[in-house]
Amino acid sequence: MPAPFNALLCAVVAGIGAVLPAGRPADPADQLERSVSGEAAFAHLRAWQRAADGSGGTRATGTPGFEASARYLVQRLQKAGYRVVRQPVPYEDHRVDIERAETSPDGAAVRVLMWRWSPSTPPGGIDAPLVAPTADSSAGCEREDYEATPADGAVVLLPRASCGFATQVRVAAEAGARAVLSYMPTPRPDNIYRNHVYDPVSMTLPIASVTQRWAESAAERTRRSPVRIRLDLRGHRVTGVTENILAETSGGRDDRVVMAGAHLDSVGEAPGINDNGAAAAALLETALRLAPRQHAVRNKVRFAWWGAEELLDVGSEHYIAGLTAAQRRAIALYLNYELIAGPNFGRFVIDGDDSDNADTGSGPGPAGSGAVERVLTGYYRSRGLAVQPRDIAAIGSDHLAFQKAGIPIGGLDGGTWQTKTAEQAALFGGRAGDMFDPCYHQPCDTVRNIHRAELDRNTRAMAWTIGRFAADVDDVIAERDGSS
């Protein structure tokens, strides 16, 4: 063999060896996994932190923080060569005008967060006794709870209970209460959450949240001596237009679209860096690394960053509603990602076939979802990383819009305000008895709230999964069509 040719061949072989695992051809999923990093994703989070800092600490729908986050995202996608679609999304929201409370006779101010879509108090507010059901009651779930604690004309203080806040408010109203103050018992008693009234028509009493620490102290005070509270809650309906941001590969089959999404907006009380900036940043980094090879994928990949998820999946619902039946059928699967880098993280894969929640689950996802789950679970286990299945309905996010449309779904959630068990701490590490994300929906959900190693692990997992389905969705299609 001539020397020049031999030298060239050696150079080619050496180059191939630098990028290929020994003994097999290049795998697009492995290539994409190796090309991304949590450090690169974290750079996007710094930009979104700056966006929140310039917007009063939030990136919520309708704020400059969301607009700046979207602008940053679009610029980077366009620079990478994607054609970006900025889909307008109309929304309705409940804007708070006044939320304040004060107890007497001490005159102490109380921090309250009016629930979204709560009825308002009368002009001037309510001045009423503050009462709380006894500790051995059902926490306001039963009418009998108010036999020892009369609620007529009072403001009732209630913890979250198994019967749900809607039932608690209905029972309190039947007992004659004028308003409800609620709280979420967690290992972080100073946290406070602005919750959502899911059925405004049936919500007959004004309701607001308080911290667990204040609530438990106030409840104890009411059992020693009378306490009154002046409560003023007022809000009104607003409308606006936000956006979904979508980008897709130039290549790939149009009839086998792989979709992956994460919401871009935060709640109004937080910068939203783990919820859900971390997933949005990992998705952006995956898109940027796929961009140079976007013409070569077998199946088209469509990335989505949703607006108004915190208003109850408004952006994803709007997107699905605008698709024809054929366009929905062309989506082979949808992957959703939430809170993927919390400081006390878990790894919860959507239980697509309901095989792990036979007694308590809400049922399987659309046919094909089980195949999606097996791919995600298989990846993590192959890397020696623990995962747990989680019932579809236990993760309230944008995958629900796709589920309702009959599209196979999957994805990962890192956990929110729930408490990590000893068993889960043994699986994932971290602190048993604490929340998965102590800063969930709190002002402390900043870049300091991110577990950098877990961000790296899940960014690589996301990239591998998207790369795998970009190359092959045959198992999902076979399960979907075999069950249809």
Indicate whether 319 and 339 sit together in one domain: yes
State the pLDDT at residue 11: 35
Q: How far apart are CA 238 and CA 447, in angstroms?
A: 31
What percent helix, strand, coil does the chain show, rounded to 5?
40, 25, 40
User: Among 482, 61, 80, which residue's Cα sits nearest to residue 264?
Assistant: 61
* ∠ Cα 225 227 231 (to 5°): 170
pLDDT band of 355, cuts 50, 70, 90: confident
For residue 76, tell me if it sits in a domain. Answer: yes
Say if residue 196 is exposed, middle or buried (CB neighbours under 10 Å; 0-12, 13-18, 19+): middle
Indicate whether 431 and 341 sit together in one domain: yes
Beta bridge partners of 131: 156
Please write the tens of the pLDDT for every residue from 163-212: 999 999 999 999 999 999 999 999 999 999 999 999 999 899 999 999 99
pLDDT band of 250, cuts 50, 70, 90: very high
Q: Is the pLDDT of residue 12 over 50?
A: no
State the pLDDT at residue 360: 53
433-455 mean pLDDT: 98
State the pLDDT at residue 14: 33
User: Among 237, 228, 242, 221, which residue's Cα sits nearest to residue 179?
Assistant: 228
Q: Are 465 and 375 in contact (CB under 8 A)?
A: yes
For residue 445, tell me if it sits in a domain. Answer: yes
Indicate whether 79 and 102 sit together in one domain: no
Q: Specify the 3-state DSSP secondary structure of 257.
A: strand
Only one residue has tokens 């940027």, namely: 288
Q: Quick one: which H or E segment has residue 401?
A: helix 399-404
* ∠ Cα 39 45 49 (to 5°): 145
Beta bridge partners of 331: 257
240-262 mean pLDDT: 98
63: CATH: 3.40.630.10
For residue 156, tell me if it sits in a domain. Answer: yes
State the pLDDT at residue 293: 97
Q: Is the pLDDT of residue 61 over 70?
A: yes
Please write the tens of the pLDDT for every residue from 277-313: 999 999 999 999 999 999 999 999 999 999 999 999 9
Say if residue 239 is exposed, middle or buried (CB neighbours under 10 Å; 0-12, 13-18, 19+): exposed
Indicate whether 281 and 367 sit together in one domain: yes
Domain edge (last residue) among 181, 208, 236: 236
Q: Is the pLDDT of residue 9 over 90?
A: no
User: Among 191, 254, 101, which residue's Cα sits nearest to residue 436?
Assistant: 191
Q: Is the pLDDT of residue 251 over 60?
A: yes
Indicate whether 351 and 403 sit together in one domain: yes
State the pLDDT at residue 135: 80
Indicate whether 348 and 221 sit together in one domain: no
Indicate whether 266 and 214 sit together in one domain: no
Beta bridge partners of 232: 100
The count of domains in the chain is 2
Q: Specify the 3-state DSSP secondary structure of 42.
A: helix
State the pLDDT at residue 136: 79
For residue 5, tell me if it sits in a domain. Answer: no
Q: Domain residues for 108?
A: 94-236
Beta bridge partners of 158: 182
Residue 276 region, left (φ>0) first, then alpha (ψ -120 to 50), else beta? alpha
For residue 1, tell me if it sits in a domain. Answer: no
Which structure tokens are listed for 315? Answer: 């952006």
Q: Is the pLDDT of residue 143 over 80?
A: yes
Q: Is the pLDDT of residue 416 over 70?
A: yes
Q: Quick one: which H or E segment has residue 229?
A: strand 228-248
For residue 10, tell me if it sits in a domain. Answer: no
pLDDT band of 483, cuts 50, 70, 90: low
State the pLDDT at residue 148: 87
Domain edge (last residue) among 182, 210, 236: 236
User: Among 358, 389, 393, which residue's Cα sits nearest to residue 373?
Assistant: 389
pLDDT band of 361, cuts 50, 70, 90: low
How distant, in Å, are the alpha carbons of 235, 317, 416 from that of 245? 30, 14, 25
For residue 2, tell me if it sits in a domain. Answer: no
State the pLDDT at residue 357: 54
Q: Is the pLDDT of residue 362 over 90?
A: no
For residue 17, tell me if it sits in a domain. Answer: no
Indicate whether 404 and 267 sit together in one domain: yes
Q: What is the DSSP letter of 277?
A: I
Can you list the positions of beta strands (E) in 197-227? 207-209
339-349 mean pLDDT: 98
Active site residue 338: no
Domain edge (last residue) among 236, 267, 287: 236
Task: State how far Cα 478 lies from the chain centre.
Answer: 30
Indicate whether 344 and 411 sit together in one domain: yes
Q: Considering the chain, what is the average pLDDT of its residues?
A: 93
State the pLDDT at residue 260: 99
**How many other β-carbons are positioned within 10 Å of the β-carbon of residue 129?**
17
Q: Is the pLDDT of residue 15 over 60?
A: no
Indicate whether 190 and 296 sit together in one domain: no
Instruction: Report which of residues 452 and 11 the model is more confident about.
Output: 452
Indicate whether 260 and 223 sit together in one domain: no
Catalytic residue (one of 309, 310, 317, 373): 309
Say if residue 323 is exposed, middle or buried (CB neighbours under 10 Å; 0-12, 13-18, 19+): middle
98: CATH: 3.50.30.30
Indicate whether 292 and 214 sit together in one domain: no
